[in-house]
Amino acid sequence: MKYLNEFRDGEAARRLAGEIRRIATRRWAVMEVCGGQTHSIIRNGIDQMLPTEVELIHGPGCPVCVTPLETIDKALAIASRPEVIFCSFGDMLRVPGSARDLFQVKSEGGDVRVVYSPLDAVTLARQNPDRQVVFFGIGFETTAPANAMAVHLARRQGLENFSMLVSHVLVPPAMEAILGAPHCRVQAFLAAGHVCSVMGLRQYPPLAERYSVPIVATGFEPLDILEGIRRAIAQLEAGESRVENAYERAVTLEGNAAALKMLDEVFEVTDRAWRGIGVIPRSGWRLSAAYRAFDAELRFAVTGIQAVESPLCHAGEVLQGAIKPHQCPAFGRECTPRTPLGATMVSTEGACAAYYHYGRFLDDEALASR
């Protein structure tokens, strides 16, 4: 497979790890922002190839994990309405709300459907003019353009029975919030390659300069990640803090012009709450005034919801890199993929799920209970 196999070569990976070992003279902490990168790191044992001088800290870049509990509860309330067909990507169905999840709503008779594209939800709205079709629009800058396109299309087709529950978040403000936190240990970032492929690299130089932190746009295959780490460590050792592109086959300075135009038309920047982290100023998108009529929150007036997070869940600390998943007391005990207490154990990009699925750091008791 072109652009995959050549980035999974074991010998080249060992050479890169050796180069990192050669240049790292003291301890450095590098955060991979994206949950997809976290899974690749754990699945491929990249963290175990690195010298003890280099610590990888897992970041908040999992769209399912950071969707606020209150928004999940709103989704549950909307999906329970008899006139609604509620559409979502499969990941969201098992994410626990305050009292239940979308699977439970489905088992109780709710019309909850898994779709593979937001455009499928638009088609459903066209095919079911007597029903209200709602799409759960979550995610980072990567999924936002397709979601924006769906709303744009619905308006163009005059569909009055389509709406979107929007909870989009933006990566750079979250990176800034992490850097500004008093307990921050992050000294360099591997920026998420797919986010950069949409947005370009323009947003990062001010951040790199203000916080003296190297930022390397990095892909998802083992060699991509090792090369990103190598460049980050080389900068740290040289006392530099630049933005570098280690994912040139997908990322440009300008980003994807068509996607940016669509985002600009349909969304506007807003303050946004992140699950487990709290409100980060100007860290999300909502529908712009011209598209507000497609806002499911307004259409179904889901207000006054009191979200209740599990007191056992430490996902906020996991998402900010303050603890590793296995350091959560509930990991592998009260909390497993079958009995998840937090979204980070459910999502395919969640750090807790990565540690659990690849058996990392489970003790004998937890292993026996699997």
Under the binding rule (CB under 6 A), the answer on residue 341 touching ligand SF4 is: yes
With residue 301 as reference, give the H or E element that holds it: none
From 169, 190, 246, 345, residue interacting with ligand SF4 (rule: CB under 6 A): 345
Nearer to ligand SF4, 265 or 334 (CB): 334
Q: How far is the CB of 337 from ligand SF4 (least distance, A)?
A: 10
Distance of alpha carbon 311 from the chain centroid:
23
From first CA to last CA, the distance across the chain in angstroms is 34
Under the binding rule (CB under 6 A), the answer on residue 312 touching ligand SF4 is: yes
Nearer to ligand SF4, 39 or 286 (CB): 39
| d(C-alpha 208, C-alpha 214), whole Å | 6
Under the binding rule (CB under 6 A), the answer on residue 335 touching ligand SF4 is: yes
Cβ-based neighbours of 25, under 8 Å, separated by 6 or more: 53, 237
From 331, 347, 354, 362, residue interacting with ligand SF4 (rule: CB under 6 A): 331
Under the binding rule (CB under 6 A), the answer on residue 314 touching ligand SF4 is: yes
Q: What contacts 24+ positions apart, CB below 8 Å, involve 141-144?
A: 141/170, 141/171, 141/195, 141/198, 141/199, 141/263, 142/192, 142/194, 142/195, 142/198, 143/63, 143/168, 144/168, 144/198, 144/263, 144/267, 144/285
Could you give phi then psi for residue 304, rounded to 5 degrees? Answer: 70, 20
Under the binding rule (CB under 6 A), the answer on residue 178 touching ligand SF4 is: no
Stretch that binds ligand SF4, among 39-47, 113-121, 233-241, 310-318 (CB under 6 A): 310-318
Nearer to ligand SF4, 214 or 342 (CB): 342
| d(C-alpha 141, C-alpha 194), whole Å | 8
Under the binding rule (CB under 6 A), the answer on residue 313 touching ligand SF4 is: yes
From 318, 321, 324, 349, residue interacting with ligand SF4 (rule: CB under 6 A): 318
In this structure, are residues 264 and 144 in contact, taking their beta carbons and an 8 Å threshold?
no
Stretch that binds ligand SF4, among 45-53, 204-212, 282-290, 323-331 (CB under 6 A): 323-331
From 342, 347, 349, 354, residue interacting with ligand SF4 (rule: CB under 6 A): 342
Which residues of the shown chain bind ligand SF4 in the complex (CB under 6 A)?
Answer: 312-315, 318, 325, 328, 330-331, 335, 341-342, 344-345, 352
